[in-house]
């Protein structure tokens, strides 16, 4: 499946990086939408969160089809879909497969099963997005040809910095809100 001038391997890597970008964007938008500063923009943020997440899922499916069709490093469908079953980089590939299932579960339950599952169970399942995202970073970093080069470290490090910063902001905001609630409760006779 070679496109003229672009080898299949380059496309595999590009689709991997695009999925990395889309999932990181999706998680960031989801986390930001809950911050007070974005309260008025919440519908837009939710739209961005869902659309980029689904675009990420489709991009990963493309990534996996390219791997399956590659002539140099051959992956069978079993090696792609059964974790740790592949001859090539079994650990990193297996982490990629688990990551795919986790993201798929999160987005399918959010768009099609949310009402049936109920808010509590849905929220618990939705938290799987955190291990999914960590597995994605590990997969890319471990399997990447250039992970030791500055540009790759910048891409992985940048994504991690962004998500950790937004999570910390969320934590701080809910911490200060709960302090304020406690103070209000003390003041009311």
- How many residues at the interface with ligand HEM, by CB under 6 A? 28
* Contact status: 22 vs ligand HEM (CB under 6 A): no
Instruction: Examine residue 93 and tell whether it contacts ligand HEM (CB under 6 A).
Output: yes
Helix (H, G, I), strand (E, B) or coil at 33: helix
Here's the x/- map for ligand HEM, 39-78, by CB under 6 A: it reads as ---------------------x--xx--x-------x---
- Distances in whole angstroms, Cα of residue 15 to Cα of each of 12, 50, 55, 102: 5, 19, 11, 18
CB-wise, 48 or 94, nearer to ligand HEM? 94
Distance CA 60, CA 75 (A): 15
Out of 16, 30, 53, 159, the residue judged to bind ligand HEM by CB under 6 A: 16
Subset of residues 147 to 166 that bind ligand HEM, contact rule: CB under 6 A: 147, 152
Contacts of 83 (CB under 8 A, 6+ apart): 94, 95, 97, 98
114 is written with which tokens?
């949310």
Nearer to ligand HEM, 80 or 129 (CB): 80
Task: Tell me the C-alpha distance between 35 and 9, whole Å.
Answer: 40
Q: Which of residues 105-144 bind ligand HEM (CB under 6 A)?
A: 136, 139-140, 143-144
The residues facing 13 across adjacent strands are none
């Amino acid at each position: 499946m070679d496109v003229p001038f672009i080898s299949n391997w380059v496309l595999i890597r590009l689709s991997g990086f695009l999925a990395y970008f889309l999932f990181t964007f999706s998680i960031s938008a989801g986390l930001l939408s809950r911050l007070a500063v974005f309260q008025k923009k919440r519908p837009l943020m939710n739209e961005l969160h869902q659309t980029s997440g689904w675009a990420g899922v489709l991009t990963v499916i493309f990534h996996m089809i390219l791997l399956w069709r590659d002539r140099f490093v051959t992956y069978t469908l079993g090696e792609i879909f059964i974790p740790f079953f592949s001859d090539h980089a079994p650990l990193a590939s297996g982490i990629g497969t688990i990551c795919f299932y986790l993201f798929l579960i999160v987005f399918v339950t959010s768009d099609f099963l949310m009402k049936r599952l109920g808010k509590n169970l849905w929220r618990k399942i939705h938290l799987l997005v955190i291990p999914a995202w960590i597995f994605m970073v590990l997969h890319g970093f471990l399997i990447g040809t250039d992970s030791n080069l500055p540009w790759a470290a910048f891409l992985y490090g940048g994504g991690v910095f962004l998500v950790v910063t937004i999570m910390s902001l969320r934590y701080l905001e809910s911490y200060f809100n709960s302090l304020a609630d406690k103070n209000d409760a003390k003041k009311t006779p």
